[in-house]
Amino acid sequence: MTIPRFRIQCGNSLALMRLLESASIDCVITDPPYSGFEFTGKSSHYRHALLPYLDEIKRCVRDQRIAVSQPEEHIDQVKQELPVSGYAKIDDAFADQRGAAATFLLCNPVSTSDTAAESWRDIPDSSHPNHRDVNKMAAIVKIMSRPGETVLDPFCGSAAIGIACLLLGRNYVGYELDEARAAEAEQRLVTISEVIALNDR
Ligand SMILES: C[S@@+](CC[C@H](N)C(=O)[O-])C[C@H]1O[C@@H](n2cnc3c(N)ncnc32)[C@H](O)[C@@H]1O
């Protein structure tokens, strides 16, 4: 198997996405902050804070293949901005907090057959306060992308989505504002790439 490639870039994803060519990415899967954005313009509304990011995501992605997680209270607002065709609710979506669910808004998914979570062990630890369960993120990766494709995650955090991508044979590009989190994400992906390379021998 070809070892999937990855790239983590530290910086504001809005600025980083603006450097990408239009329709140059196969798919976006991301888990934006549910609060704590720097609000833009006159409105302090969450939707308005997220809007410029969604506009860039739609510009970068070929065929509008996009999955974005949202808390229940924001779903009605955010779905006005995306061609949503379905939802995936994931229970116990955090790696170390039981009971917290995540709902992904799905636009143009590619698979409805192979959508199960995985049961990989020995996923590298993370100190990120909101790190997702890699095994559960695998279900979203399978629904939204094909092996060999490149997935962009503009709010990568600990790169839980990225680890699932590499283990499923997808390439991954992650953007993260916080330097320490970006460094940790990079290290986790290096570790997983080494595991994949070893298993491939
Ligand atoms: C909800 S967390 C993502 C968690 C991730 N799915 C995981 O499993 O670790 C959102 C991340 O987006 C980052 N972030 C917030 N605003 C950003 C921006 N403008 N550009 C890039 N990253 C940003 C935060 O630092 C945070 O790590």
Domain ranges (residues) in the chain: 6-200
Question: Which of 84-96 are b and which e, b meaning 16 or more Cβ less than 10 Å from the residue's Cβ?
Answer: beeebebeebbbe
Q: How far is the CA of 88 from the centre of ligand 1 (A)?
A: 20
What pLDDT does 121 receive?
Answer: 93
Ligand 1 center–CA 86 separation, angstroms: 23
pTM of structure: 0.94
For residue 133, the CA-to-ligand 1 centroid distance in Å is 15
For ligand 1, mutation pick of 123, 136, 176 (most atoms within 8 Å of CB): 176
Q: What is the pLDDT of residue 110?
A: 96
Q: How many residues does the chain have?
A: 201
User: What does the pLDDT read at residue 12?
Assistant: 96
Per-residue pLDDT reduced to its tens digit, 15-64: 999 999 999 999 999 999 877 665 454 445 677 788 899 999 999 999 99
- pLDDT higher than 90, residue 105: yes
Phi-psi region of 164 (alpha: psi -120 to 50; beta: other; left: phi over 0): alpha
Report CA(182)–ligand 1 centroid distance (Å). 9
Q: How many other CB atoms sit within 10 Å of the CB of residue 39?
A: 13
DSSP 102: E
Residue 28 Cα to ligand 1 middle (Å):
14
Cα of 157 vs centre of ligand 1, distance in Å, is 4
* Ligand 1 pocket, Cβ-based, cut-off 6 angstroms: 12-14, 31, 33, 128, 130-132, 155, 157-158, 160-161, 175-178, 181
Nearest CA to ligand 1 atom 27: 157
- Return the CATH fold of 6-200: Rossmann fold (3.40.50)
What number is the average pLDDT over the span 115-119?
91
Beta-bridge partner residues of 102: 90
Query: So what's the pLDDT on residue 44?
Result: 52
Atom of ligand 1 nearest to the CA of 16: 20
What is the per-residue pLDDT for 34?
79
Q: Is the pLDDT of residue 86 over 80?
A: yes
CB 105, CB 75: distance < 8 Å = yes
